A = this chain, B = another copy of it.
């Protein structure tokens, strides 16, 4: 537990709209030496305000909150308090969402299903200047490399297949011929290694395309 510069107390802000999670997280933070909870927020706007007011060393950020999304809070944090490290804390396990966050340069990423030891390890690592992506998240992203092989057009066709459209309907919607739809369709399913629409839907599910509800 060795934050640089000796006994300086590191400040932490917790942003999550669920009190259950905030309370549980506070307990874990309290177990880390030389840290202090300087604020908490239950929605996106409060989170932005807390970051502006406290300029914390660390922000624990829920992905989706009312009034401003995790992405927005993250952007404002970078603008108003660029020294603040950010740890994403998400109940979502969709690969698409997680891989988007990887590219933001965020310092840490955790699933809410991670155990307290792991959460503590992540927080300490990030406060010590390192990065920490939960192993579970790393594994999930590895399984998503095939998706990144798809061209933009193939993704569009896939999303319309997933939405239940026939090839003819897809052609109408994209203003292309059925032959072209068949082409893209065959190509994307080959890249993803699937032979049926059912299998394709499982891939879409893993990418979070079927999710419409939030998990804690």
Please list the residues of chain A having a beta carbon within 8 angstroms of any beta carbon in chain B: 18-28, 91, 93, 111-113, 115-116, 119, 161-166, 194-199, 201-202, 205, 210, 213-216
Whether B205 lies near A210 (C-beta < 8 A) is yes
Whether B196 lies near A166 (C-beta < 8 A) is yes
Whether A214 lies near B113 (C-beta < 8 A) is yes
- CB-nearest residue of chain B relative to A18? B113
Whether B198 lies near A196 (C-beta < 8 A) is no
CA distance A102 to B111 in the complex (A): 29
Whether A216 lies near B164 (C-beta < 8 A) is no
- CB-nearest residue of chain B relative to A90? B216
Which residues on the B side are within 8 Å of A115 (C-beta)? 18-19
CA distance A31 to B129 in the complex (A): 38
Question: Taking each of A162, A163, A164, which has the highest tally of chain B beta carbons within 10 Å of its own beta carbon?
Answer: A164
Which residues on the B side are within 8 Å of A28 (C-beta)? 19-20
